[in-house]
Amino acid sequence: MTTHRNSTATDRLAEVRARIGRAVRDCGREPDAVTLVCVSKTFEADAIVPVLEAGERVFGENRVQEAMGKWPALRERFGALDLHLIGPLQSNKAEEAVSTFDVIETIDRPKIAEALAKAMDRLDRRPRLFVQVNTGAEPQKAGILPEDADAFVKTCRETYGLAIAGLMCIPPVDDQASPHFALLNVIAARNDLPALSMGMSADFELGIQLGATHVRVGSAIFGTR
């Protein structure tokens, strides 16, 4: 990867866009098949502005509180955008999450599904929803276990009336990502879920090859955290 210490976020963004474009073309997918989610967690508004000025409108944050501090002013200045929650969610933050985010990628247990359903009714606001799958079955990691995913998607739909758009995963850091991405794709297909959020700075091209519709790229754009 040709990210230099003195390169700017705008330079790095251009390179990420080019790499995504190549990966999409190389596997014969439509040019607009993959959405870049620019992961701006830990970065201040000043660092995010150049990426907004370069035209990006889809961002990811992993903490509700942090996003509530940064994004209202940026929305005011830049207009409509899609803000994704990509970090774990507590049920007592459901209302704040629903009012702050346009997409919530990390639904992983009935308690959260229920809290979100209630918050969405109360606020009459409907973010798009993804279920997070713990494809590596890591004890410390959020996400529903792969073997429980079908039943959980059904519960979200039938018990809580949630429209689930797709699935998200974060493979174990020390594993090859490809089996995890392939597994997520299989679970999504058998549950009629069109969206797949998989692939980060280190492996977004692989995610694209294996069917990602959303790649979540942070450090390759914003630099080291």
Ligand X SMILES: *Cc1c(COP(=O)(O)O)cnc(C)c1O
Residues 19-78 that bind ligand X (CB under 6 A): 39, 41, 62
**What is the C-alpha to C-alpha distance for residues 34 and 55, in angstroms, rounded to an integer?**
16
Nearer to ligand X, 76 or 142 (CB): 142
Q: How far is the CB of 168 from ligand X (least distance, A)?
A: 8
Nearer to ligand X, 157 or 202 (CB): 202
DSSP type of residue 144: B
Residues 70-129 that bind ligand X (CB under 6 A): 86-87
**What is the C-alpha to C-alpha distance for residues 182 and 18, in angstroms, rounded to an integer?**
24
DSSP type of residue 129: E
Q: How far is the CB of 166 from ligand X (least distance, A)?
A: 14
Q: How far is the CB of 48 from ligand X (least distance, A)?
A: 14
Among 34, 127, 18, smallest CA distance to 82 is for: 127
Three-state secondary-structure class, residue 109:
coil
Amino acid code (one letter) for 86? I
Query: Which among 18-26, 66-74, 150-158, 199-207 is the span making contact with ligand X, rule CB under 6 A?
Result: 199-207
**What is the C-alpha to C-alpha distance for residues 113 and 130, in angstroms, rounded to an integer?**
11
Q: How far is the CB of 224 from ligand X (least distance, A)?
A: 9
Amino acid code (one letter) for 62? N
213 binds ligand X (CB under 6 A): no
13 binds ligand X (CB under 6 A): no
Nearer to ligand X, 24 or 86 (CB): 86
Q: 100, 201, 209, 213: which one contacts ligand X (CB under 6 A)? A: 201
Q: How far is the CB of 197 from ligand X (least distance, A)?
A: 8
CA dihedral 43, 47, 53, 54 (to 10 degrees): -80
Query: Which among 17-25, 110-118, 157-165, 196-204 is the span making contact with ligand X, rule CB under 6 A?
Result: 196-204
Distances (CA, A) of 106 to 27, 71, 101, 109, 146: 28, 19, 12, 9, 14
> Rounded to 5 degrees, what are φ and ψ at 136?
-95, 5
Q: How far is the CB of 78 from ligand X (least distance, A)?
A: 21
Binding residues vs ligand X (CB under 6 A): 39, 41, 62, 86-87, 170, 200-202, 216-220
